[in-house]
Structure 1
Amino acid sequence: MSKRGNRLRNQGKRGSRRAAAARDGNDNGSGKRGARSGERSRIGRFVRRVIVLGVAVVLLAAIFLAFAVGFAARSIPSYYQLQASAVGQTILVRARDGSEIVELGPSFGEWLDYEEIPDTMVDAMVAVEDRRFRSHFGIDFWRTGGAILEGMTGSRERVGGTSTITQQLARNLFLSSNRTFDRKAREAVLAMALEWRFSKEQILELYLNKVYFGGGAYGIDSASRKFFSHPATDLSVAEAAIIAGLVKAPSRYSPTADVQAAVDRAQVVLRLMREQGYITAREANVDVDTVELKQQSGQNSVRYFTDWALPQLDILLPETSAPIEVWTTLDVGMQRAASAAIESNTPANAQGALVSLDRDGAVLALVGGTDYVETNFNRATAAMRQPGSSWKLFVYLAALEAGYTPDDRVVDTPVTIDGWSPRNSSGRNVGETNLRTAFAYSINTVAAQLGNEVGFGTVASMARRFGVSSPISTFPSMVLGSSEVRLIEMTEAFAAVSAGGMAVEPYGILKVETAAGENLYRHEAARETQLVPDYVAAGITDLLQAAVQTGTGRAANIGRPVAGKTGTTSSNKDGWFVGFSSGITTGVWMGRDDAAAVPGLQGGRAPAQAFAAYMRYAVKDRPVEEFDTDLDLPEWRLEPDDEALFGDPDEYYYIDEDGNLIEPGRRDPMDDSFDVEGERPGGREGNRNGSGEPPPAVSEDFLERATGGPVRAPDPPAVPPRQRPRETLDVPPAPSANRQRDGGSGQDQLIY
């Protein structure tokens, strides 16, 4: 074949390959375009499905919401039923004699029809609480969305709440104020139901007659009379702005609590009214400061008592919203006398408090401050303050229980305990004295030695036993009252001493009845509990009486037996006097809320004088009662023998000479036991050691190991001494702490 033919064949092959390649390229392009087209189709179908599903969900939600709103609308009481319904519980509080002392709970004025409500009041409320009230159907979605946006951006410039007026009405009528999603959802449904059921005018009428404005006032008429002394029909623009501004925070913006805050809030309301076209610029420029507020007369200090007693109803009563009448333990005359005593004796720029208990714990009077309107903080039941030397009650109770008597000799001398060196207020030490004098003159060094000897934990335990529930320190300085306590706790402790060592629990409610006379609660006397033996109660009463007769509490004398103790903290920050007479126990505290020093404040001055001023009235109709200070000591305190020292062998475990453990109340039949007359069973006389004395409960070797020294039976002195069980003290005694006691012809000095 010629060369030309070969070239032609080669050209034909190349053309065939190009054609094939071209066909392949066309096929690949068409595939890519088809794939892209299929992907768009799938996305479109997915979007259409999402839209359809979303529309279906919205429709189902709308149907469900419509059913919920419709059902709620049918369940809502009629307009007249809502108009007659009361908000909150009314509590009528009576004194112990049945006289009415205060009525607490909602206060309602006259019901005003919509036509009677001033336009300025309606406009002010709509302007500040719900500017789109007349256009929405219960929920303001723009406002709710704006609130969400503000929350996301951190803005705090919103002047109103997120709830519409209708939502607020629904909450006030049917719901609680809990901020939960469930409650908000129900609130929204009920708001739309109210809009469905009632007209805008009816909703405003219900709202303005029922909304809470603070101070127990419900409705604009009650608020107007409370704050301005006239009915709501006479409200001016400025007064309407003040009332409308209260809804957001009644306690914060109340004119009786903070006049300037109420004025500032009213200015905001006036600005909003002008911006929304309800008033002119000239009307908005009104001087709110010129509004005459009703003069609030000083409320009786009985509110301190009710603030303490009435919260206890949540525990004492079954759940009820019905009106109730509460009979209390309060004595009206004593309450007036207590208020007068505190007001007239409390130093300038200081506060005072008083608690007075009857012998069974009934609160006869309670004053928590000098002016309840100025400050309702209850210093009688809530304030934690250092009690100073009045705390020595527990130190000396522990000492008396450990074996001391008021006549025992002690030594007032400088002492150091764990690096702490207490000083007497006089700056001097008197040397040897007795327990009664040391307590009467509140000698600090003696109290420190006693606390060190009996143990600071023992003193704290004694305070707990007598009703102190506040935290108690066990550092050495605790004996001088460094632990903070409440006045009512200290008064309770002294009342227990007055009751002969029996526990006393303060209470303020005698009985509770419904308005129809149904009994809901009646106080029952608590079970009697003996806190300390009779002789300990008699001994501490002896000391407390001496403190008033000759010691630091002489200003508390009222012409009849009084027992009590003063207390003064460092730099005169706190002054106390707590005492009792004729079955009434009263505690008085004075000081500043900021714990600053009060010049001249001492427990033996103003607090003791206030105590006396009150107690002269409190006990005037009670017979004079002499205190029982006779120490009827038990046998173990009087008999100087082994049985007195260690107790009755039938009442404890002991080890016999053979090393056998003998249980209480059980004896081996072969044991040569003895009776109280020293005779063996069966008439045989004598004992193991061949003497007429009973055998010891344990061997002398055992006692020497236990006590760390030789044991020698003491010779009975001419005068029976006070005996105390030996015990190991948790706190090492101070080297200089010592006690001396006369006995027989010589002097027995015991070093601790």
Structure 2
Amino acid sequence: MAKQTRARNSSRRSTSRDETSAGWRWTKRIFVVFAVLGLLVVGGLAMAVWTTMNSLPSFSSLKASEHGQTIVVHARDGREIVSIGPSYGRWLKYEQIPDSMRNAMIAVEDRRFFDHYGVDPIGIARSVKVRIDTGAFREGGSTITQQLARNIFLNNSKTFDRKAREAVLALALERKFTKEQILELYLNKVYFGGGAYGIDSASRLFFSHPATSLSVGEAAIIAGLVKAPSRYSPTADADAAVSRAHTVLALMQQQGFITPGEAAKVDLDTIELKPEYGQNSVRYFTDWVLPQLDFILPETFEPIEVWTTLDVGMQRAATTAIQKNVPSGSQGALVSLDQDGAILAMVGGTDYVKSNFNRATDALRQPGSAWKLFVYLAALEAGYTPDSPVQDKPVTIDGWSPRNSGGTFAGEIDVRAAFAYSKNTVAAQLGQEVGFDAVASMAQRFGITTPISTYPSMVLGASEVRVIDMTRAFASVNAKGVSVEPYGITRVTTASGELLYERRASRQQLLVAPYVAAQMTDLLQTAVQIGTGRSASIGRPVAGKTGTTSSNKDGWFLGFSSGITTGVWMGRDDARKVPGLQGGTAPARAFADFMKFATAKRPVEDFDTEVTLPAWQLEPDDEAWYGAPGDYYFIDENGNRVEPYGGGPDGDYVPPPDDGWRPGDPPRGGYDDGSGGQAPDEAPSAVDEDFLDRATGRTDPAQRPANPPAGTRPQAAQPAARQSGPGGMRIVEVPSTSGR
């Protein structure tokens, strides 16, 4: 038995030794594989670095190269309004750069600059650890050499391929140049914001003196800009710049570049910044328009010239109008459009230097009663007219009870008066009758791009909008219901004159029937003549609407005259109450001040508030316009869609060819009434007999009338849920006369 036990134990030890030997063999094999792969990677990396190093430009070539594109922007009359692009100061050699500037940059951007070979594994590991500890990348792993490689040779995309190429370039730069040369290149080429490249340009921009005389505090401010030039710019946000500079000083002390005593002597609050002298509000316009170049131009790095729609005189008048009328502590914005959508003036705030946030294009604010434009457009489209009777009375909709500004009710009035005096109860009833979704659809149709609520209170402007979108909507009413698209660039050329882009007229859409736009203009004109917008009068016809939100947080006036449409908004950025602010006060006065100048050289234009149509076009019960353009179609007696003339591009309805006949022209064609001419009430045939057969279901040609009645037309499809409002359409008929 003992022998058997010893034999089994011996067998187990032998098996264990065999298993250990096999495991060790596999371990060695895996180690060899990884070692070979590692050698291949190192060899490939070395080859890539060696190849890249030999292809790098010389130090003198890199010094001479300048990156960035200069853009010259012109106004509509051709004069130059702004030049945007890189600014380069004097090139400073390594020895000329103050120690404080070199040390500040190393402390904040690359503390191990003199210890690594272009890529810092320790810095990368530290960045990853911070990422794990805090959940965010608070420290970057890129070295100064990597940043230089990216600034000179690459872009800022965060792809693995770009990072790999950046690392190879950094290693190659370290092999070809000294640390001093790399730091010299970096400090003379890095971007500090405001168009300034290099420390000398930044020093002159922010402190009005060359970089050779930078103090420790000034160096700390400049070094802090590299992380986020726009966020920490001392001219844009002095508090943020100072806070960042304190961080730089703390890092310099921590790394031994300055002593605690030297750090304590630096008073950042006493550093004097270069004064800004009236940087024109035109920058609000250029900030909005220039990013569009990325979409309309082929890629080019040569200097270009951009020709815009901005009117210099109107821009100056708009700036003055806002600054003169805006309540203390508030902001103001203005957008003015020509008839075709060309932007004539744009003001995004009271002071571009203090705040470059563009409130004309980016701010989202409630429009108040200015939103009633869409409520009444929907009501007019549904069959109401300016003369239709409505009731100004208490009303409750789904638990919501709107009240009027004065707290009183006028009883029975007409639509015109309800709009002129901005009766909230009437707007609520109209919105409920036509449907809140119909009002939202109307707003989207007219260019509102922000989300729209369909709760009942939406009729009073609860949804947030942009000034430029609201101005566009009013401009489309001014254009008789045709869409207007704001634009600011007319053409772009190279500095040598080669045409790179020229604007073509955008495709227009008919948003509402012309008679709806005419009736809306009637309401808007009345609001200025006798209603809430009286302060917007300028001595010539004006149509417009005020808007005021609850607690006087926002004030609006939007309107048009002599082909120019202008929108004005005022309020506080923090949406706090502004005492006394109403759309009919400061915004309306600013509108009037601007429009008096803007329209001064234009002829006085009366509004066409009545649409005159011949009798054969009048079928108010069957031909109300509903829906968006392209939704209009014909149906037969069974409800099937019938296309009389075929579809146009994008499915648009194509009317019959224009034969030149107009109401009032001598009669021609038609049937023989015995006088050799057309019957007095006759109009050109709207459709041919084949179409009428299909539309009416007539199958026997013998059933066709010998003399079809004038103006026989198919029925236009209408949504079943829509009802005509009281009063029908307000259309002026042309009386028929004999002997024409």
Q: Which residue of 2 aligns with 1:685?
A: none
C-alpha distance in structure 2 between counterparts of 1:561 and 1:130, whole Å: 66
* Structure 2 residue 463 is the aligned partner of structure 1 residue 483: yes
Q: How far is 1:544 from its partner?
A: 1.4
* Structure 2 residue 443 is the aligned partner of structure 1 residue 463: yes
Q: Which residue of 2 aligns with 1:619?
A: 599
Q: For the Cα contact (< 8 Å) 1:411–1:738, is it kept in 2?
A: no
Closer, same or farther in 2 for the Cα pair 1:192/1:730, shift >3 Å?
same
Q: Which residue of 1 aligns with 2:301?
A: 321
Q: Secondary structure at the match of 2:77?
A: coil
Cα deviation 1:106-139 (Å, max 9, x = unaligned): 3221222223222332232223322332332212
Q: Secondary structure at the match of 2:612?
A: coil
C-alpha distance in structure 2 between counterparts of 1:84 and 1:349, whole Å: 48
Q: Which residue of 1 aligns with 2:348?
A: 368
Q: For the Cα contact (< 8 Å) 1:502–1:532, is it kept in 2?
A: yes
Q: How far is 1:35 from its partner?
A: 5.6
Q: Which runs of 5+ in 2 are unaligned?
A: 626-632, 640-691, 731-740
- Note the 1:284-303 alignment, pairs <5 A: 284-289=263-268, 290-303=270-283
Cα deviation 1:273-305 (Å, max 9, x = unaligned): 445444455433322323222223453222221
TM-score w.r.t. structure 1 length? Answer: 0.81
* Structure 2 residue 90 is the aligned partner of structure 1 residue 110: yes
Q: For the Cα contact (< 8 Å) 2:70–2:83, is it kept in 1?
A: yes
Cα deviation 1:198-233 (Å, max 9, x = unaligned): 222221111111112223321101111111111111
Q: Which residue of 2 aligns with 1:250?
A: 229
C-alpha distance in structure 1 between counterparts of 2:516 and 2:728, whole Å: 20
Closer, same or farther in 2 for the Cα pair 1:411/1:272, shift >3 Å?
closer
Q: Which residue of 1 aligns with 2:285?
A: 305
C-alpha distance in structure 2 between counterparts of 1:398 and 1:144, whole Å: 61
- Note the 1:327-366 alignment, pairs <5 A: 327-366=307-346
Residue identity matched to 2:108:
V
Q: Which residue of 1 aligns with 2:510?
A: 530
Cα deviation 1:306-334 (Å, max 9, x = unaligned): 22222222221222333322111111111
Q: Which runs of 5+ in 1 are unaligned?
A: 1-20, 679-693, 699-723, 743-752
Q: How far is 1:461 from its partner?
A: 2.9
C-alpha distance in structure 1 between counterparts of 2:433 and 2:132, whole Å: 65
Q: Secondary structure at the match of 1:285?
A: helix
Please, which of 158, 178, 194 is the counterpart of residue 215 of structure 1?
A: 194
- Size of the aligned set, in residue pairs, is 669
C-alpha distance in structure 2 between counterparts of 1:157 and 1:237, whole Å: 28
Residue identity matched to 1:248:
K
Q: Which residue of 1 aligns with 2:73?
A: 93
**Farther off after superposition, 488-497 or 262-271:** 262-271
Closer, same or farther in 2 for the Cα pair 1:467/1:237, shift >3 Å?
closer
Residue identity matched to 2:421:
Y
Q: For the Cα contact (< 8 Å) 2:296–2:501, is it kept in 1?
A: yes
* Structure 2 residue 694 is the aligned partner of structure 1 residue 663: yes
Q: Which residue of 2 aligns with 1:559?
A: 539
C-alpha distance in structure 1 between counterparts of 2:63 and 2:429, whole Å: 72
Closer, same or farther in 2 for the Cα pair 1:120/1:25, shift >3 Å?
same
Q: How far is 1:506 from its partner?
A: 0.6
Q: Which residue of 2 aligns with 1:176?
A: 155
TM-score w.r.t. structure 2 length? Answer: 0.82
Please, which of 229, 242, 247 is the counterpart of residue 263 of structure 1?
A: 242
Please, which of 53, 68, 73 is the counterpart of residue 48 of structure 2?
A: 68
C-alpha distance in structure 1 between counterparts of 2:127 and 2:475, whole Å: 57
* Structure 2 residue 571 is the aligned partner of structure 1 residue 591: yes
Residue identity matched to 2:598:
A
Q: Which residue of 1 aligns with 2:174?
A: 195
C-alpha distance in structure 2 between counterparts of 1:50 and 1:446, whole Å: 83
C-alpha distance in structure 2 between counterparts of 1:396 and 1:645, whole Å: 15
Please, which of 374, 382, 385 is the counterpart of residue 405 of structure 1?
A: 385
Percent of aligned pairs with the same residue?
Answer: 63
Residue identity matched to 2:140:
G
Residue identity matched to 1:399:
A
- Note the 1:572-611 alignment, pairs <5 A: 572-611=552-591
Q: Secondary structure at the match of 1:250?
A: coil
C-alpha distance in structure 2 between counterparts of 1:213 and 1:286, whole Å: 25
Closer, same or farther in 2 for the Cα pair 1:372/1:167, shift >3 Å?
same
Q: How far is 1:517 from its partner?
A: 1.9
C-alpha distance in structure 1 between counterparts of 2:283 and 2:315, whole Å: 11
Q: For the Cα contact (< 8 Å) 1:420–1:476, is it kept in 2?
A: yes
Residue identity matched to 1:193:
A
Q: How far is 1:355 from its partner?
A: 0.7
C-alpha distance in structure 2 between counterparts of 1:575 and 1:373, whole Å: 24
- Note the 1:610-689 alignment, pairs <5 A: 610-633=590-613, 635=615, 652-654=635-637, 663-664=694-695, 667=698, 668-671=700-703, 673=705, 675=707
Q: Secondary structure at the match of 2:500?
A: strand
Q: Secondary structure at the match of 1:602?
A: coil
**Farther off after superposition, 614-623 or 395-404:** 395-404
Q: For the Cα contact (< 8 Å) 2:128–2:137, is it kept in 1?
A: no
Cα deviation 1:255-286 (Å, max 9, x = unaligned): 22443443343344344444544445543332
Residue identity matched to 2:168:
V
Cα deviation 1:319-368 (Å, max 9, x = unaligned): 23333221111111111111111122111222211110001100111112
Q: How far is 1:527 from its partner?
A: 3.0
Q: For the Cα contact (< 8 Å) 1:408–1:741, is it kept in 2?
A: no
The structure with the largest alpha-carbon Rg is 1
Residue identity matched to 1:335:
Q
Cα deviation 1:116-173 (Å, max 9, x = unaligned): 2223322322233223323322122333333334444559897x63222111111111
